[in-house]
Each structure stands twice: as structure tokens, then as C-alpha cells.
Chain A
């Protein structure tokens, strides 16, 4: 017993000395290398509004049109819901305007916050890309580019179904199921076709064009599916980076440019890969479970928001560009919408509408 007591006293004394030394070390370290603690990122919940009731208040500039389930509407810059109405036929929106099909007048109608902007006679299937309006034909075999006032810029027929369209202010890139990629200018003059090789079955799944029109991204082919980066050289686009993917989903998957065109992203099996445009090097891998339903980039915070669906369980996943997880919220929903505007983002979940703000504190 005496030996045991002596041993315990020695251990207590050792612990005491360790604690004292630690406190002294922390004190001296803080004195020698003083710095303020970094700000923490907070998601501040804003308003939560039900969508089911018809709401039609005057619309203010700066907000955004949206579509969720069987509703369409408009939310203001500060996240206030100003409009919630039953969905119009073929309604699509780029945020600032929306287009829909008027079956009585057999025309596409385009509306903004002040009402009808213009109509496009004889067209039925509107599609927005890069802030520009397009119309597809009944069979996805013809595409019409429309001008700012709804005038026809050009109409092109294709020898296979159109699988992907992307545009910037001056160029339109079109991918077709025969494995061709063509780029059209505002007059309808085309570059290409470019036919990516290296796969057993040629097909284009998705395309993206950079804002300056100098680069293209393409997801093409089956066995294997391939990711390609093309750059403009002379009058043509030429591949500067390409790699085979392990996934073989036979439908369009996510693809695009990020961060003012410095980065690209593409979807693989349950992950998003971010690449450096300059050298094709992989920047990060953002894993997720299930299907990717939506993807947004918050440029001010360099954050990526992923909306995923895993067996009807939806998740909002926020990751840093480097792939560090920041936030994950899981909920049950049938219809989901995610929109961002500055530091505010809007999450529509079935019949509810929630705004959240990002802030550092």
C-alpha cells in the first residue's frame, strides 16, 4: 500500500509539471507570435415561405425568375418571394427573363419583370444558354438562334439528334448524337465539325464554351467516355488535353468552366473533378452520394454548392475549391431548386422556399 501511494504521488507531480509547462509554452507562443483568430463561415437562414399560394407582387430589378415543380415565380435581390404562380407550358428561365409556349398564338412568349418583351412566332421549344434564347424543333434535329429582340439569327438542321447546346454572347456550341461538335457564330457561320475519337461508340454527351470563346469542353463517347479540352488555334478548335473516364453513363453529365475560366469541372461516378485549365492537372475531387442534381459556384467565397439526390434523399453539400467539406444538409424532397445571387442562395424544396446568406463572423 505504501509503495502504491508513493507511485501515485510521483505521477501527480509529473502531470502538474506538464500542465504548468504547457501553460507557460502557450503564453510565450502567444506573446512571441500574436495573431487574430480567422473568421468562421456561417450560413444564416433567412426567410422561409410556402410556395403553394398564388403571389403576384410588383417585381423589382435585381432578383431572379425561377421554376420549381408546378410553380414559377420571382424572388427579389434580398431573397423576398415576390411572385409564385402556376407553371406555364414549356417555361424556361435564365433568371432575368422567362420564355414559355403560347399554344393559342402558336408562339414563344418572352417576359421580363415589366411584362412581355417579345414573341417568336412558329416556335414551340425555348431554351436559354449563356443568357441567349434558342428554339429547338419538335425532333431535336434543328436549332434556331434568336437575337435580343426575338429575331431569328440562324436556323440549322442536323443529321443527328442534338444532345448538348452551350453558348456565350457570340458563339454557340452544339453537340450531336453522331459524335460531332460544331461551333456557330452570330451569323451562323460554323467551325468544325470536330469529331472526338478514341471511343468505340462516337456520341457527344455534353459541351461547354468559355466566356471568351477560346476554349471548349466536351464529354464524348462510350467505351470509354472521354473528357476533352479544346483550344482555338487558327480557325479550328484543337484538343489540348483529354482523358478517359471510368464512368459510362449514357446521358449528359455535368461539365463546365469555373472561376472566370481558370478551372473546369466534370462529373464522374459520385464525384466532381475540378481541373486546372492551364495544364489539365487535377485540382480536387468533390465526392458525393447518388446523383448530382445541381451545381453552383460562389465566386466571392470560392465555394462549390452541390445538390445531390440519393434514393430520394436530397443533400446540399458545400465544399471549398480544394475539396474541403464545409457544410452538408440532408432533407427529403421531390422537387428541389438551388439558385445563387451574390452571397445569398435560394433553396426551394417542394412547396417551400428558403433563403440563406453566407457570412464570415
Chain B
């Protein structure tokens, strides 16, 4: 109940804070906060746009401006040129892959930050946006301050598996309802399908996979795993999701596989519930009835 209340509060907080504008009118989110692709976890969002320049999401002071090919501390990355603004609510935003032009001290909401840099042969340009909470020292989910996503597709379960102690062979709960009594690790394969449009009239768009926002897991009504990707903070050089104790890479195993923890299946009926939400608030859930038997 407390978890539902805190999620509601965060959504309300997000709604309240979403006074920030997207840096272009036609923004579509292609990758979400905490989404893993290969070995990389994205602690921001990636957007695509047809706009030729990007604008300040909110009034703010210019903190840092990076131009590619700078002569001092030209640190390489995929960000290209970027601008960091500091806003009145102690948040800082970064808009990347632009050619910063104006060297002014402050920006009003909607003022241009710079022209976009596009990949050769691409109609749309890709940009990464980050939001930093300067007071809490956290990387914040940008979708808590930017306008909400419009998306009607719910997250999709590819598999829910369990792995016995001292075993390397996971078993899918989609095809198995009887398991030996004992300790099992629970893993889910999940992602959030969506469609990206190129901006041409009548086009079908391309299918993409986004990350998921929350996971809640219960065994016989008791909470097993509860995670909400609201912010990340650094501890001992690793990123930790707010409210969790272990680093993110300990339970986000690959692009869509999450390790939810260990359960004990008792003899008889065990009810395992997994509920997942995406960043647009769409929810999908699975309930598994596992009969534990003595082997």
C-alpha cells in the first residue's frame, strides 16, 4: 500500500514538475531512463526529432558548454556538443548533440540552445537528455520533469524463469507449474514495445523497445522485489536505484533481463505475482501458481 502511495506521490510530483518543455515540439522518446543496451545503461533519455535546433526546457543559468574539438579537456563521448543549465528548483538539465551557439549567462524557457548535429544519412537527429538533482546528488529520471509519454502499449513479458540453487539451467514458469521445494532465483525477460515515427505522412513507423519503469513482485502476498526507476545515485563508483541497496547492474543483467531475487517455494501452492509498468503508466502483470513438491 505504501508503495502504491509513494508511486502516486512521485507521479503527482512529476506532474507538478513537468513544467519543463521538451527541447523540440516533435520529440519522441527512443530510449528511457535506466534502459540497458549492450553493456551501457542510459541514465537519461534519448529522444529523436526533426527540429533543426533545440531550445531551453526551462529558464536557467548556463553552467557548462561543451563544443567538440575543444582545446582543453576535450573528453570523448557520444554526447557531442552539449549545454548544461541550472534551474531554480536545484535541478540541472543537459541537452546533447548540439552545436552550442549562444554564450549567454542565462536562458529563458524556449530560447535556442544550438543547432542539432545529425548522423549522416539520417532524417531525424538523436539527442540524450539528462536531469541532475544538484541537492540530492542524483541522476533523475527526466520523465519526472518533462511532459509525460504518450504510449498505449503495455510492457511485454518474454519469459519468467526460475533457477534452482547450484543449477545453471533456468526453467520457464510459462511451461512449468510443479517444482521441487527449495530456493529459486526469479528472473524476468521484459521490455516495453513502442513505435517511432519519422515524421512523414502515412508512414507505419518503426518498432522499438524501451525500458520499463517499475517492477513489483510478491510471493504469497509478501513483497519480494519492488523497484521504481526514479533516480540513480552513485555509491563507491557504482549506480544504485533509489530505494535499493545493490548496484543496478547486479539485477539488470542484460537489455531486458532482470534478476528479482531469491524465493523459497514451499510444499503445496505458491503464488508468484509480477507487475510491471512502463513510463507512460501502462501496466502488465502475471500470476503464477507453482506447486512445490518434495523430490
Select one of B61, B76, B128, B234 contacting A222, CB under 8 A. Answer: B61
Q: Is the C-beta of B258 less than 8 angstroms from some C-beta in chain A?
A: no
* A127 to B40 CA separation, bound complex (whole angstroms): 19
Q: Is the C-beta of B202 less than 8 angstroms from some C-beta in chain A?
A: no
* Interchain CB contact under 8 A, B63 and A139: no
Residues of B within 8 A of A (CB): 39-40, 42-44, 61-67, 70-73, 75-79, 82, 84, 86, 92, 94, 103, 105, 128, 130, 132, 134, 137-139, 232-234, 237-239
Q: Which of B73, B130, B237 has the most CB atoms of chain A within a 10 A radius of its CB? A: B73
* Interchain CB contact under 8 A, A125 and B77: yes
* Interchain CB contact under 8 A, A251 and B65: yes
* Interchain CB contact under 8 A, B71 and A293: yes
Q: List residues of chain B with CB within 8 A of the CB of A141.
A: 43, 139
* Interchain CB contact under 8 A, A138 and B77: yes
* A159 to B137 CA separation, bound complex (whole angstroms): 6
* Interchain CB contact under 8 A, A161 and B130: yes
Nearest residue in A to B232 (C-beta to C-beta)? A159
Q: In whole Å, how far is A191's beta carbon from the nearest beta carbon of chain B?
A: 13
Nearest residue in A to B94 (C-beta to C-beta)? A161
Q: 8 closest pairs, A vs B, by CB?
A: A156-B237, A125-B76, A252-B73, A138-B78, A159-B234, A140-B77, A252-B72, A164-B73
- List A152-168 residues whose CB lies under 8 Å from chain B: 154-165
* Interchain CB contact under 8 A, A222 and B233: no
Nearest residue in B to A188 (C-beta to C-beta)? B237
Q: Is the interface of A mostly helix, strand, loop or mixed?
A: strand
The interface bits of chain A over 113-131 (1 if a CB of B lies within 8 angstroms of the residue's CB, else 0) are 0000000001011110000
* A16 to B119 CA separation, bound complex (whole angstroms): 81
Q: List residues of chain B with CB within 8 A of the CB of A138.
A: 40, 77-79
Q: List residues of chain A with CB within 8 A of the CB of B239.
A: 157
Q: In whole Å, how far is A308's beta carbon from the nearest beta carbon of chain B?
A: 10
Q: How many A-B residue pairs have CB under 8 A?
A: 111
Nearest residue in A to B248 (C-beta to C-beta)? A157
Q: List residues of chain A with CB within 8 A of the CB of B128.
A: 139
* Interchain CB contact under 8 A, B76 and A136: yes
Residues of A within 8 A of B (CB): 90, 92, 122, 124-127, 136-141, 154-165, 177-178, 188, 190, 201-203, 205-206, 222, 248, 250-255, 291-294
* A178 to B135 CA separation, bound complex (whole angstroms): 9
* A251 to B75 CA separation, bound complex (whole angstroms): 12
* Interchain CB contact under 8 A, A165 and B63: no
* Interchain CB contact under 8 A, A137 and B237: no
* Interchain CB contact under 8 A, A294 and B77: no
Q: Given A125-B77, A160-B132, are A251 and B66 also a contact pair (CB < 8 Å)?
A: yes
* A39 to B63 CA separation, bound complex (whole angstroms): 50
* Interchain CB contact under 8 A, B79 and A140: yes
Q: Given A159-B132, A252-B73, are A203 and B139 also a contact pair (CB < 8 Å)?
A: no
Beyond A250-B65, A252-B73, 7 extra complex contacts between A and B, CB < 8 Å: A90-B76, A159-B234, A165-B73, A205-B64, A250-B63, A250-B103, A251-B66
* Interchain CB contact under 8 A, B234 and A157: yes
Select one of A125, A178, A203, A222 contacting B137, CB under 8 A. Answer: A178
Q: In whole Å, how far is B171's beta carbon from the nearest beta carbon of chain A?
A: 31
* A159 to B233 CA separation, bound complex (whole angstroms): 6
* A122 to B75 CA separation, bound complex (whole angstroms): 18
* Interchain CB contact under 8 A, A294 and B71: yes
Q: In whole Å, how far is B132's beta carbon from the nearest beta carbon of chain A?
A: 5
Q: Given A157-B234, A159-B137, A159-B233, are A137 and B63 also a contact pair (CB < 8 Å)?
A: no
Q: In whole Å, how far is B128's beta carbon from the nearest beta carbon of chain A?
A: 7
Q: List residues of chain B with CB within 8 A of the CB of A155.
A: 237
Q: List residues of chain A with CB within 8 A of the CB of B92.
A: 160, 177-178
* Interchain CB contact under 8 A, A92 and B75: no
Q: List residues of chain B with CB within 8 A of the CB of A292.
A: 71
Q: List residues of chain B with CB within 8 A of the CB of A201.
A: 61, 63, 86
Nearest residue in B to A137 (C-beta to C-beta)? B40
Q: Given A177-B63, A251-B66, are A92 and B237 also a contact pair (CB < 8 Å)?
A: no
Q: Given A159-B139, A163-B64, are A139 and B72 also a contact pair (CB < 8 Å)?
A: no
Nearest residue in B to A101 (C-beta to C-beta)? B76
* A302 to B75 CA separation, bound complex (whole angstroms): 29
* A139 to B94 CA separation, bound complex (whole angstroms): 11
* A301 to B84 CA separation, bound complex (whole angstroms): 42
* A203 to B86 CA separation, bound complex (whole angstroms): 11
Q: Given A139-B78, A157-B238, A159-B234, are A250 and B62 also a contact pair (CB < 8 Å)?
A: yes
* A19 to B89 CA separation, bound complex (whole angstroms): 80
* Interchain CB contact under 8 A, B61 and A140: no
Q: In whole Å, how far is B44's beta carbon from the nearest beta carbon of chain A?
A: 7
Q: List residues of chain A with CB within 8 A of the CB of B79.
A: 138-140, 161
* A155 to B232 CA separation, bound complex (whole angstroms): 17
Q: List residues of chain A with CB within 8 A of the CB of B40.
A: 137-138
